[in-house]
Amino acid sequence: MKPGEVERKNARIIRQYRSARTGRQSVDVLFCARANLFQQPGGDTEVVINLKRALTRLGFRVDFRPSPSADVHCELVHIFNCDTPIAIQSALLGKPYVVTPMYEDINRYYIRSMRAVSYFRDYLDSGDWLLLESRLSSLQREDERPVAMDWKFPLCNAAAICATGAAEADTIRRQIPEVGAVEIVRIGFNRPVEAEQVSADLFVDEYGARDFVLCVGRLESRKNQLMLLYSLQDDDIPLVFINSRTVQPGYEDLCKRFRRRGKTVFTGRVKPEMLWSAYKAARVHALPSWYELPGLASLEAAWFGCSVVAADWGTLPDYLRDSVFYCSPYDPVSVREAVRKALEAPRSDIGRRLLAECRWESEAERLAHIYRRLLDERETQAAVSRLERAAENARAEQSYHQRRGRTLELMRTDIARGLPLMDRLIAERPDDPLNYLFRGEARLKLGRVSQAEEDLRASIAIKKVFQEVTHLYLALALIQQKKLHEAREALLEALEIYPFMNEGSKAIVADYLARCDAAMQSETGDTTSE
């Protein structure tokens, strides 16, 4: 090449690829999900990867972006998890979207699961099992409280909703009655064919355990491993946890502090061969999760012939039907009983027979049918109207969020000007807990403590578990009004429902509790002296 030729060729390539015709990929379906889907993989990652691979074989061109973007042209958007910003963006771009919400019945389990962590933490600190038993039994009576994120927009404006099982579909319909039809596209199951060559001895030689109770999964409050540890505390049977990296290190610490009569092993993350070997060496797989959709570990365990113990709160019954020893996730007696029965049952191939129906290929076919229907309908008046409606709703939603953002910004610097705007926002959306929290905080700063209390209580009434600071502000408002018993109650409740509270908040709680105690003591002293 002559001098200057490389530069000229570079420039030609730049011109060619920056022309208007290119610079934009074209696909049939754009998958969208959380931005860290592939960096912090979870069950949703497996769903996205396997559906994409199966849909590609059916002739669909599929790509992934964290949100619909200008560099990809698509006919349809498919959102995984309930993500409001992605749904708004899709609607604003005039794209019909399908949503696979992976909708957990969070109202049912979340507060219970948080309380359980606090109860076990206190038990590990004090050893007071009578108190633990009494507190655990109260979990059964816990009311279902709305704690879910605001998932109305993505679900109510979707062109189609795909649940992973009947239980999930029922939960969606019950909690958001306005949604349209909910269709079932189940999770597929990849047969670990390479596992046939792996022997149980690999695990036995490495960890010195056989015929144990196995529990595979990250150590985290939703998976409820503390309940399993407590249920089998006095049993001799070895308990093996194959635990990949947790997102709740505090929970992992509690699990590892638990002492039980039988041997307990935490292997950490292991290679697939070791995992398969563990399934072969185990008698029972027990995962008393508060909720699973449906829980890959339970499916794998069933495939390998383990007896499976699990809670029946998720969609597992759609997959393994009555082959599972079901338990109540809040009840240690029920967990222990299920494990005992499972230990007595022989290994069986019923899991394999049931899972033979769970193929990504057939689920992708089901999904392809939904896509084709939406693509065929896209020119119809009904579809066009739905898209227009969704876009209009998205604009309203976006405008609301922008106004709220500006109002919150203003309230940081100029409370007096911000408050009337916040009043208007609350009138517009009386079900948004964040607005009450910020108005409560502002009123607290202005010394209007009884009004602040009212707002903070309203925020908690809408969503009990939302931001721990709500409880702290409420306690402060109560302390300032000398409602010391109520303040104390709010603080203790905060400690209970936010077991992973950060150190700064913990210090504030301790300080406020000390203030309450001191004030109460001085009140008692005053009364006595009177």
Partner 1 sequence: MRLAFFSPVNPVESGISDYSESLLRALAPRCTVDLFVDGYRPSDPWITENLRIVDCRRGDARGLLAGYDGVLYQMGGTPGHHKYMYDIMLEHPGVVMLHDLIYQGFFGDLWLKTGRPDLFIAEMRRSYGAAGEEVARNLAAGRQVPFETIKKYPMNKRMIDSALGVAVHSRSALRQVVEVRPQVRCQLIPHHDFGWSAWAQQGYDPAAANLSAKQKLSIAPGTKVLACFGFIVATKRPDVVLRAYARLRQDIPDSCLIFVGEEKYRVSEYLRFLELDTSVRITGYTTSEEFRTYLEAADVCINLRYPSQGETSGAVLRMLALGKPVIVTNHAWFAELPDSACAKVDADRYEEDLLYGFCKALLTDADYRLAMGRNAHEYAQRHCALDMVAGQYLDFLAECAKGGDR
Q: Footprint of partner 1 on this chain (CB under 8 A)?
A: 1, 3-7, 9-10, 13-14, 16-18, 22-25, 37-41, 45, 48-49, 52-53, 56, 63-64, 69-71
Q: Cβ of 527: how many Cβ atoms within 10 Å?
A: 8
Q: For 505-529, give the secondary structure using H, E and C.
A: HHHHHHHHHHHHHHHHHHHHHHHHH
Q: Which is nearer to partner 1, 65 or 112 (CB)?
A: 65
Amino acid identity, residue 356?
Answer: A
Closest separation in Å from C-beta 53 to partner 1? 6
Burial of 440 (0-12, 13-18, 19+ CB in 10 A): buried
* Beta carbon of residue 189, minimum distance to partner 1 (angstroms, whole number): 16
Minimum distance from CB of 500 to partner 1 (Å)?
15
Work out how close the CB of 49 gets to partner 1 at its nearest, in angstroms, rounded to a whole number: 5
Using DSSP's 3-state secondary structure scheme, residue 242 falls into strand
The residue length of the chain stands at 530
| Minimum CB–partner distance for residue 50 and partner 1 (Å) | 9
Strands (E), 122-212: 160-163, 182-184
CB closer to partner 1 out of 14 and 461: 14
* First-to-last C-alpha distance (Å) of the chain: 103
H helices within 29-151, ranges in order? 43-57, 84-92, 106-126, 129-139
- How near is the Cβ of 429 to partner 1 at its closest, in Å? 23
Q: Nearer to partner 1 by C-beta: 23 or 430?
A: 23
Residue among 26 and 385 whose Cβ is closer to partner 1:
26
Q: Give the residue with the Cβ less far from partner 1, 13 or 149.
A: 13
| Residue 140 three-state SS | coil
Give whichever of 45 and 246 is closer to partner 1, judged by the CB atom. 45
DSSP bridge partners of 32: 65, 79
The runs of H, that is alpha helices, within 304-380 are 316-320, 332-344, 350-355, 360-377
Q: Tokens standing for 179?
A: 């949604």
CB of 196 to partner 1, least distance (A): 21
